[in-house]
Amino acid sequence: MVSQAQQEPALPHSSSIAKRAAAASMDASPAPPLLLRAPTPSIDLPAAKQDRADAASKAAAVFDLRREPKIPAPFVWPHDDARPTSAAELGVPVVDVGVLRNGDRAGLHRAAAQVAAACATHGFFQVCGHGVDAALARAALDGASDFFRLPLAEKQRARRVPGTVSGYTSAHADRFASKLPWKETLSFGFHDGAASPVVVDYFAGTLGQDFEPMGRVYQRYCEEMKALSLTIMELLELSLGVERGYYREFFEDSRSIMRCNYYPPCPEPERTLGTGPHCDPTALTILLQDDVGGLEVLVDGEWRPVRPVPGAMVINIGDTFMALSNGRYKSCLHRAVVNRRQERRSLAFFLCPREDRVVRPPASGAVGAAPRRYPDFTWADLMRFTQRHYRADTRTLDAFTRWLSHGPAQEAAAAPCST
Ligand SMILES: C=C1C[C@]23C[C@H]1CC[C@H]2[C@]1(C)CCC[C@@](C)(C(=O)O)[C@H]1[C@@H]3C(=O)O
Ligand SMILES: O=C(O)CCC(=O)C(=O)O
Ligand SMILES: [Fe+2]
């Protein structure tokens, strides 16, 4: 988390975009643009029923049947998903990953023990000593504010390509008809070793040369996220007793997803969600959140907040790493709630293996000694499953495992895709 107090970024900050964003945000309502077009719905009761309804208004007041809904129905989530937040924050350890570089052996064992305890239970920990430049982190968060404050027409120049994760979406309204998340997102791929910087190319190629400075900020940010991911893989190897280098080498040629989340203030936050309950299908998530708060993890049936810690980043295990650890480390349910007063931003770096790498736990050590929990699979198959067949939720990996036995073959047998 980067606190407001930190110094201004000493990085390229495109003033022209900031100016356009400022101009646009003067009149934009604090809501996903999809809402700008949706009239506020009202509950129209025919006159005859109105009397009965008025007579029952006391009962209705209990159930709020007559409350004027402030958010469109597609954004209303089932009560069970939108259950109230627990008053008890989740005690997530803040692990100093600097010990992997400074020769502090006692610190290294302490960090490995903290990670093992957290990942074997709720799958979340925070990291400090990560070496990510605070000005770069701030510039990445500020860039998200600048982008999402642009006019909708400009953001839609980057609209998501169907069947992929890349691009801009408002509430995923292009994909889903209900349980719409109260957020806008901008996602793009990252891998290093390309002839030219892929993130710079994405911003300039999709949004125009004006966006090249913003692309440079996210290019540098993603490079730092990749380096931090590999450091964390070393710590996961140590904590699991897995041979050194097994996970780090597995992700050396990773092809990851960067996602900027923007959660506008909401008039009825208790009825909707910024991001619904899910486990990340990816391997590892590095989340930089601002100081507003909203990330919650389901532990023992309660939604427990993960408090933003200044300068720290939230790490969580995803389904793919749960399979790589043969189920020893847990990919757990989490969600993001919204609030009435403040917009919230979070940047999620989703570490993913190269698409064709076979996700298989090490055969040796304690991880390899236990019976296999999941079949071999590739990230390409799991990614395709979440983008074309299944909305990632609370049971993604189980549903995917079942799909594996017939899904890919059925897809291949289906009519050839139109060009
Ligand atoms: C592979 C991915 C799919 C999602 C983005 C990454 C990792 C997290 C996934 C997601 C956030 C889980 C909740 C549902 C989802 C649809 C969302 O709310 O954005 C998921 C992402 C997606 O499919 O775009
Ligand atoms: O914004 C957050 O705090 C969490 C978002 C998240 O879980 C996700 O995008 O996968
Ligand atoms: Fe997530």
Tens of pLDDT along 107-119?
Answer: 999 999 999 999 9
From 170, 386, 394, mutation site for ligand 1 pocket: most ligand atoms within 8 A of C-beta: 386
Nearest CA to ligand 1 atom 17: 275
Q: What is the pLDDT of residues 323-371, one digit of tens each?
A: 999 999 999 999 999 999 999 999 999 999 999 999 999 998 889 999 9
Residue 18 lies in a domain: no
| pLDDT bracket for residue 266 (50, 70, 90) | very high
Of residues 130, 293, 311, the one with CA closest to residue 225 = 130
pLDDT at 416: 55
Q: What is the span of the domain harbouring residue 99?
A: 74-354
CB 128 within 8 A of CB 96: yes
Q: What is the pLDDT of residues 199-209, one digit of tens each?
A: 999 999 999 99
From 263, 272, 278, mutation site for ligand 1 pocket: most ligand atoms within 8 A of C-beta: 278
Residue 275 CB less than 6 A away from ligand 2: yes
Q: What percent of the chain has pLDDT over 90?
A: 71
Q: Which atom of ligand 1 is nearest to the CA of 165?
A: 24
What is the pTM for the complete model shown? 0.87
H or E segment and range at residue 15: helix 15-25
Residue 386 CB less than 6 A away from ligand 1: yes
Residue 90 CB less than 6 A away from ligand 1: no
Listed ranges 30-44, 291-305, 356-370, 387-401; the one with the highest mean pLDDT: 291-305
Ligand nearest to the CA of 163: 1
- If one counts the domains in the chain, the total is 1
Residue 3 lies in a domain: no
Residue 194 lies in a domain: yes
pLDDT at 412: 74
Ligand 3 centroid, distance to 156 Cα (angstroms): 23
Residue 286 CB less than 6 A away from ligand 2: no
Of residues 334, 310, 199, the one with CA closest to residue 258 = 199
Q: Is the pLDDT of residue 27 over 60?
A: no
Nearest CA to ligand 2 atom 9: 348
pLDDT at 22: 66
Q: What is the pLDDT of residues 221-242, one digit of tens each?
A: 999 999 999 999 999 999 999 9
Residue 277 lies in a domain: yes
CB 284 within 8 A of CB 315: yes
Tell me the average pLDDT across 131-144: 98
Tell me the average pLDDT across 15-38: 58
From 1, 257, 275, 339, mutation site for ligand 2 pocket: most ligand atoms within 8 A of C-beta: 275
CB 293 within 8 A of CB 307: yes
Higher pLDDT, 50 or 248: 248
Tell me the average pLDDT across 386-394: 84
3-class secondary structure per residue, 91-139: CCCEEEHHHHCCCCHHHHHHHHHHHHHHHCCCCEEEEECCCCCHHHHHH
| pLDDT bracket for residue 60 (50, 70, 90) | very low
Q: Which atom of ligand 1 is nearest to the CA of 382?
A: 1
- Chain centroid to Cα 186, Å, comes to 11
pLDDT at 260: 98
Q: Is the pLDDT of residue 53 over 50?
A: yes
Ligand 1 centroid, distance to 162 Cα (angstroms): 14
Ligand 1 centroid, distance to 386 Cα (angstroms): 8
Q: Is the pLDDT of residue 135 over 60?
A: yes
- 185, 207, 273, 287 from 166: Cα distances, Å: 10, 13, 22, 18
Q: Is the pLDDT of residue 313 over 60?
A: yes
Residue 261 CB less than 6 A away from ligand 2: yes
Residue 273 CB less than 6 A away from ligand 2: no
Residue 195 lies in a domain: yes
Residue 405 lies in a domain: no
- Residues contacting 106, CB < 8 A, separation 6+: none
Residue 320 CB less than 6 A away from ligand 1: no
pLDDT at 337: 98
Q: How many CA atoms lie within 13 A of 178 on its CB side?
A: 5
| pLDDT bracket for residue 38 (50, 70, 90) | very low
Higher pLDDT, 377 or 66: 377
Higher pLDDT, 21 or 285: 285
Ligand 3 centroid, distance to 397 Cα (angstroms): 14
- Side chain identity, residue 225: M
What CATH number has the domain bearing residue 180? 2.60.120.330
Residue 170 lies in a domain: yes
- Three-class SS state of 78: coil
pLDDT at 304: 98
Ligand 3 centroid, distance to 277 Cα (angstroms): 8
Question: What is the ipTM, given to two decimal places?
Answer: 0.99
Residue 259 CB less than 6 A away from ligand 2: yes
pLDDT at 36: 44
pLDDT at 389: 86
Nearest CA to ligand 1 atom 21: 392
Ligand 3 centroid, distance to 334 Cα (angstroms): 6
For residue 22, give the DSSP letter: H
Q: Average pLDDT of the chain?
A: 87
pLDDT at 34: 56
Ligand 1 centroid, distance to 97 Cα (angstroms): 27
pLDDT at 7: 42
Ligand nearest to the CA of 255: 1
Query: Looking at 216, 220, 328, 344, which residue is catalytic?
Result: 344
pLDDT at 379: 94
Q: How many CB atoms lie within 10 A of CB 3?
A: 13
Q: Which atom of ligand 1 is nearest to the CA of 352?
A: 1
Residue 377 lies in a domain: no
Ligand 3 centroid, distance to 376 Cα (angstroms): 23
**What is the DSSP track for 196-233?**
S-HHHHHHHHHH-GGGHHHHHHHHHHHHHHHHHHHHHH
Catalytic status, residue 344 = yes
Q: Is the pLDDT of residue 51 over 90?
A: no
Tell me the average pLDDT across 403-410: 81
